Structure 1
Amino acid sequence: MASGSSTRDARQAKAVQMRAAAAKAEARRRTLVVGSVVLVVVLAIVGVFVVVQAANRDSSTSSAADPANLGGDNSIVQGKDTAPVKVVIYEDFQCPYCAQFEAANREQLVQMAKDGDVQVQYRPIAFLDRASTTNYSTRSLNAVAAVVNSSPDAFLEFHNLLFENQPEEGSAGLSDEQLVAYAVQAGADEATIKKAVDDQTYKGWTERVTEASSKAGISGTPTVKVNGTALENLDAASLKKAVDTALAAAQ
């Protein structure tokens, strides 16, 4: 009998040990499961934080910022709002035909605006990033926006300098340093323009105005409109004739 009792006691002790071992194993399993869930949640939170921070950085640099000192439809205006003739010019600073138009018409446009007959509305866009290796159209227009925002009186001179020093198609274009230097030569503040150029502060604006021009039916540059009518010929004589005709119609 004693031998049988000892055997039962041994079996019971063994069962107790097995249940204890099983309980410890289950506790370890639950700890691992809970730890894994917590780790996944933490990683998800970190991931969301990184995405939000990246989005904040992107929005702070390339931006929803629009330059100040713009006229209607994102125009950079030269001349009085009361002028009876509005000449609207869509240009790209990488476009060689735009440079030719400017060379042929710059002086008479300035004089017409001074006389009060014409308001010139420049609407530069960035169609031709593919024509450089560094997205020069966008970079130059971003620099122009920086000048218009901080030193609007320097715009026209900067505009002229960009066309006078226009890089060849397919090249890298003017460097950021050159863009800043020409802006300063035109009368803008160096530190202000450099920051906007380095940060591409107005890149988002360049994209928006370029998209808006496409929606408005602009398919090439230069496109020049005199009181809403697009010119077929862009030489100085054709522009003057169109302006004179519009002036006569306005009287």
Structure 2
Amino acid sequence: MTYGGPNQPRPTRNQRRDAAREKARALREQQKKRERRNKVLLQGGIIVAVVVVAALVVTLIMQSVKPAGPGPKNMASDGIVLTAGEDGGVGYVETPAIPAGEKPTPSEPDTSGDIANIVMYIDYLCPYCGQFEQANADTIRTMVEEGAATVEVHPIAMLNNKSAGTQYSLRAANAAGCVAEYDPTSFLDFNEALFADQPEELSTGLTNDQLKQRAKDAGVGSLGEIESCIDDVRFKGWVNDATTRAMTEQLPNSDENLSGTPTVLVNGLPYQGSISDPDEFRSFVQQAAAASYSEQLPTESPAPTETPAG
């Protein structure tokens, strides 16, 4: 309500009182609106804070159930050691994960009798690894199951730039690490599945869904954890570190350096024969094991000779 103008009479006391009341009412309405707005903002801020805290709690919980180190369990040497299982199948040597910032611990070779310790450095995209696997997988499995050999498998990613940008070598090695972490007794089965119908170099390799299907087809257990591990590429850092170590450092328990993939050592000796001849490889394994066993045998001292009486 306004008053003014030369021809308008001066407002009366009642009119001035009503105008003041109207102005006060408008100010009160403005104040109420301001208070309601502030209340909404405050409630919204509280909701946002609660959401942030909840997300932080979930993150901490998820971190608490993740592996203890950058690498998977049962691969403390950067490889998994497979042995004869108690049920006649394939067992494994249980080890903790490599702690964050630490280096791997070389495995202790089995020196009991004429056993062969086979160590393999492989890339799941490497065609020569595929040929070696197709030729010798049955021989190696039989030797392990019968207790004649142990096999230590080191998945690395030397050919990571040979898969049209999908980093298949790294993702496949990570998947192998996931199986070692959650179902190590199925590692050899999954290893064989990755080489069955192996992708070619310069192809895109297998997708994560196809890797998960290979695990399923191989009968791998704990499939939910493994599928999540594959999707997260949980052991990416470990695969990169293990690959660098293999390519730049002397191989453990050997005088050798990595010469490519596959690099296969038997009791520390490099196999340099045909990768597609199982008889030649079997013969090399037997010879290497026999030679190691001979070195363990005590040397007989010659019998003392009697000095003739003078």
- Equivalent in the alignment of 1:88: 119
Partner SS state of residue 131, structure 1: coil
**What pairs up with 1:129-140 in 2 under 5 angstroms?**
129-133=160-164, 134-140=166-172
Which AA in structure 1 matches 2:121?
A: Y
Partner SS state of residue 200, structure 2: coil
**What pairs up with 1:1-251 in 2 under 5 angstroms?**
65-70=70-75, 73-79=77-83, 81=110, 82=112, 84-133=115-164, 134-186=166-218, 187-214=220-247, 215-216=249-250, 217-233=257-273, 234=275, 235-249=277-291, 250-251=293-294
Which AA in structure 2 matches 1:135?
A: Q
Structure 1 Cα separation of the partners of residues 119 and 244 of structure 2: 17
Which AA in structure 1 matches 2:188?
A: L
Structure 1-normalised TM-score?
A: 0.71
Q: Deviations over 1:157-206 (max 9, x none)?
A: 11111100311111111000011111122223332122111211100110
Partner SS state of residue 130, structure 1: coil
Verify the 8 A CA contact 1:124 1:141 in the aligned structure 2: yes
Which AA in structure 1 matches 2:265?
A: K
List structure 1 runs of 4+ shifted beyond 6 angstroms: none
Structure 2 Cα separation of the partners of residues 248 and 91 of structure 1: 26
Which AA in structure 1 matches 2:258?
A: I
Verify the 8 A CA contact 1:64 1:204 in the aligned structure 2: no
Percent identity, please: 37
The Cα shift of 1:247 comes to 2.6
What is the total number of aligned residue pairs between the two structures? Answer: 194
**Any unmatched runs of 5+ in structure 1?**
1-55
Structure 2 Cα separation of the partners of residues 200 and 169 of structure 1: 21
Q: Deviations over 1:25-66 (max 9, x none)?
A: xxxxxxxxxxxxxxxxxxxxxxxxxxxxxxx9xxx79x9521
Verify the 8 A CA contact 2:179 2:187 in the aligned structure 1: yes
Q: Provide closer, same or farther for how the CA distance between residues 197 and 107 of structure 1 changes in structure 2, counting only shifts above 3 A.
A: same
The Cα shift of 1:120 comes to 0.9
Over aligned residue pairs, what C-alpha RMSD do you find? Answer: 2.4
Higher helix share: 1
Verify the 8 A CA contact 1:76 1:121 in the aligned structure 2: yes
- Equivalent in the alignment of 2:301: none
Which AA in structure 2 matches 1:223?
A: T
Q: Deviations over 1:193-249 (max 9, x none)?
A: 221112111001101111111123213101111111111113312211211112322
The Cα shift of 1:135 comes to 0.5
Partner SS state of residue 213, structure 1: helix
Structure 2 Cα separation of the partners of residues 67 and 131 of structure 1: 25
Partner SS state of residue 241, structure 1: helix
Greater relative contact order (CA < 8 Å, ≥ 6 in sequence): 1
Structure 1 Cα separation of the partners of residues 267 and 232 of structure 2: 37
